[in-house]
Chain A
Amino acid sequence: MLRFSTIRRGILRKSSSALLLRAGLAFIAFIAVPLRGQDVRPTEYQVKAAYVYNFGKFVTWPSNATPETQSFDICILGKDPFGPVIDATVAGDSIDGKRIIVRRIAKVQEVDPCSVLFISQSEERRLAPVLADAKHLNLLTVSDIKDFAERGGMIGLVTQGDRIRFVVNRKAADEAHLQLSSELLKVATRVIGAKAAE
């Protein structure tokens, strides 16, 4: 009888400690989940970096644009607002089998063989000549300059509430012989300049 009761007490103690442990873990998880959520929430330029990179997936370049290159180059013109964030975003990724490289350039003339040209807000004053230069280079022009698409750019990033969205200037893309996929147009906030043929 004595032995039996001892064992029984041992079991009780063990199970109560297990219960305590489980409660503690649940508490940690309860605190940790919202913390992690806050941490994960990306910054404005992290989102924009991902957008710039992802646009490349929905655009078809003319076959003669950059035939000999082995990489898919994204050029940032002007003062780089991303920092290392964009390099981290594209690291190890590729589009159509071409490795993505991010290059910072100061002048449009350095753009070759870029596919995507991100124009920094620092270039807002020189925007018109830059776009004019870019027009003949089959470049997908992206920028978060205000009213970029209305001013002749192809994809203008805009902020709506806490979301980053974009406006597409289809006419500009047509003039550069770039085909924008309907999937891209579908998610655009606005599409300016309907295609003449359609």
Chain B
Amino acid sequence: MTERHTGTIAKRLTAMNLLVTAIALLLACASFFAYDQLTFRQSLVRTLSAQAQIIASNCLSSILFNDPQSAAQTLSALKSSQNISSAGIFTLDRKPFAQYSKEPGNDILNVPQLPSNRVEAYWFRSSHLVLVREIMSQGKPAGYVYIRAELHEIDERLQRYALIAIAVLIITLFIATLIATRFSKSVALPIVQLAQTANEVSRKRDYSVRVPPSGKRDEVSVLIDSFNEMLREIQRRDNALRQAHDELEQRVSDRTRELVSANRELEAFSYSVSHDLRGPLDSLNGFVYVLLKQYGAKLDDQAKELVEQIRSSGKRMTRLIGDLLNLSRVTTTVLHAEKVDLSALARSVMEELCRMEPDRQVEFIVPEKQEAYGDAHLLRIVLENLLRNSWKYTSKHTHARIEFGQERKRGRMAYFVRDDGSGFDERSADRLFQPFQRLHSSEQFPGSGIGLATVRRIIQRHGGDIWAEGAVERGATFYFTLGFSHGTE
């Protein structure tokens, strides 16, 4: 590409020089030839005029004494003139008196009329020149001399000039080419180097290169200096930018590392707390169970009621701790992504729920097969939570309808779990997924407030998104997407 450019600048300069040289030369040749033509014609006319005068004075007696032979003899002296092809003497009444012609048969039949008051006149025709002169005798006309000169010589001169012009043109152009090539190279080379460097800089983004200085003080060297200065400036800023960027990167990674370790500590802490809390709780539950079994008969009804309360609180606490452990496990376990049939998962969850509460009338709608790509265990937790929620929040209705499927939402394919239960206030939708945040009291619907937080964490780990739509007593729909759900969309 740059090679092609180099060519064009140098070539263009050379071509321009050659063109100017050729035009100047041709103009000079043309004007010289035109001038030569003019002078040649003038000298031809002068020569003919002189010859006509000599013939006129030598033929006067021949005319006056009616001696055409001597006139013809006089005319035959014109043989020595190369140009003159024919000549003639005419009497005053324009009758041919004597003739001469270089090649026989070229007789002149009549004489052009002279303009009034003119002794001599000439006419240039395409191929010849005609000159007519009056023969004077004592101030009175006695006859006419007619001379015709061929203009071959002009053509020959033209040819000669053309040949000379061509030869000179070739030699001059050759020399001009040599000079112009060297000259244009010296002009073009710095520009070409500049162009090459600019091209290299923009291609490789390497601002460390410099254009070599041309060594001459001209506009191009100014351009080169400015360009180099510009490169230096860009390089300086580029370095500063890169340094700032690196520093920032370093700081971000430091912070991230700190955050990750803090988070991990926090999670480890919460895990160990949950885990450690389970021990005393289990023994508490165990002792309550033993108390009821062994001493249940001895306790009065009020005491039995209190112990029953302790047992149910202990159960709730066990579930709560289990959920907490689930949540922290979700964040720490390694993902095993595989192809999962979400429909099958949903069906098995629903079957389990039905088994637990066989009296409820719930219509469940699920597609034949709904494949996704993700961790089967975690996705089961997601569906379990969502479907269990739907099951729970439709429990106040005699007839319920729960649907799982996939539809286009917010410009992409999203899975959804929809119910026609008690729904929620849309204004508090963003609180849904916060841990321990509940929109309903435990009296209305029992729950730990950790399920949706766990779901969101799983979806986030899958690189997906989760959100909910709903209205009070109008049901709720939970949408979620999976970041790396190959082949499902």
Q: Across the interface, which residues of A come within 8 angstroms of B67, CB to CB?
A: 165, 186-187
In the assembled complex, how far is the CB of residue A181 from the closest CB belonging to chain B, in whole angstroms? 7
Whether, in the assembled complex, A58 has its beta carbon less than 8 Å from a beta carbon of chain B, the answer is yes
Do A164 and B66 touch (CB < 8 A)? yes
> How far is it, in angstroms, between the C-alpha of A166 and the C-alpha of B70 when the chains are bound?
14
Q: Across the interface, which residues of A come within 8 angstroms of B309, CB to CB?
A: none
In the assembled complex, how far is the CB of residue A72 from the closest CB belonging to chain B, in whole angstroms? 10
Number of interface residues of A (CB under 8 A): 20
Whether, in the assembled complex, B178 has its beta carbon less than 8 Å from a beta carbon of chain A, the answer is no
Chain A, Cβ-Cβ closest to B74:
A186
Contact of A166 among B57, B65, B138, B139 (CB under 8 A): B65
Q: Across the interface, which residues of B come within 8 angstroms of A57, CB to CB?
A: 60, 64, 137-138
Residues 58-98 of B, flagged 1 when their CB comes within 8 A of A and 0 if not, give 10111011110010000000000000000000000100000
Do B60 and A183 touch (CB < 8 A)? yes
Whether, in the assembled complex, A66 has its beta carbon less than 8 Å from a beta carbon of chain B, the answer is no
Whether, in the assembled complex, B355 has its beta carbon less than 8 Å from a beta carbon of chain A, the answer is no
The number of chain B residues touching the other chain, given as a range, is: 10 to 19
Within 8 A of B (CB), among A23-77: 40, 47, 50-51, 54, 57-58
Residues 143-180 of A, flagged 1 when their CB comes within 8 A of B and 0 if not, give 00000000000000000000111100000000000000
Whether, in the assembled complex, A93 has its beta carbon less than 8 Å from a beta carbon of chain B, the answer is yes
Whether, in the assembled complex, A94 has its beta carbon less than 8 Å from a beta carbon of chain B, the answer is yes
> How far is it, in angstroms, between the C-alpha of A187 and the C-alpha of B57 when the chains are bound?
13
Do B66 and A183 touch (CB < 8 A)? no
Contact of B64 among A50, A94, A96 (CB under 8 A): A50
Whether, in the assembled complex, B217 has its beta carbon less than 8 Å from a beta carbon of chain A, the answer is no
In the assembled complex, how far is the CB of residue A45 from the closest CB belonging to chain B, in whole angstroms? 15
Q: Across the interface, which residues of A come within 8 angstroms of B139, CB to CB?
A: 94
Q: Across the interface, which residues of A come within 8 angstroms of B216, CB to CB?
A: none
> How far is it, in angstroms, between the C-alpha of A164 and the C-alpha of B67 when the chains are bound?
10
Interface contact tally, CB-CB below 8 A: 40
Do A94 and B138 touch (CB < 8 A)? yes
Chain B, Cβ-Cβ closest to A186:
B70
Do A163 and B66 touch (CB < 8 A)? yes
> How far is it, in angstroms, between the C-alpha of A58 and the C-alpha of B63 when the chains are bound?
13
Contact of B61 among A95, A163, A184 (CB under 8 A): A184
Q: Across the interface, which residues of A come within 8 angstroms of B140, CB to CB?
A: 93
In the assembled complex, how far is the CB of residue B412 from the closest CB belonging to chain A, in whole angstroms? 89
Within 8 A of A (CB), among B99-153: 137-140
Chain A, Cβ-Cβ closest to B57:
A183
Chain A, Cβ-Cβ closest to B139:
A94
> How far is it, in angstroms, between the C-alpha of A166 and the C-alpha of B137 when the chains are bound?
20
Chain A, Cβ-Cβ closest to B58:
A183
Do B138 and A93 touch (CB < 8 A)? yes
Do B138 and A187 touch (CB < 8 A)? no
A183-B60, A186-B70 as given contacts; A95 in contact with B138, CB under 8 Å: yes
> How far is it, in angstroms, between the C-alpha of A187 and the C-alpha of B66 when the chains are bound?
8
Q: Across the interface, which residues of B come within 8 angstroms of A95, CB to CB?
A: 138
Residues 26-65 of B, flagged 1 when their CB comes within 8 A of A and 0 if not, give 0000000000000000000000000000000110111011
In the assembled complex, how far is the CB of residue B75 from the closest CB belonging to chain A, in whole angstroms? 13
> How far is it, in angstroms, between the C-alpha of A84 and the C-alpha of B60 when the chains are bound?
26
Do A187 and B65 touch (CB < 8 A)? yes
Q: Which residues of A contact B (CB under 8 A)?
A: 40, 47, 50-51, 54, 57-58, 93-96, 163-166, 181, 183-184, 186-187
New A-B pairs, 15, CB < 8 Å, besides A50-B64, A165-B65, A166-B65: A40-B93, A58-B61, A93-B138, A94-B138, A94-B139, A96-B138, A181-B61, A183-B58, A183-B61, A184-B61, A186-B61, A186-B62, A187-B62, A187-B65, A187-B67
Q: List 11 A-B contacts (CB under 8 A).
A: A51-B65, A54-B137, A58-B61, A94-B138, A95-B138, A181-B61, A183-B61, A186-B62, A186-B70, A187-B61, A187-B62
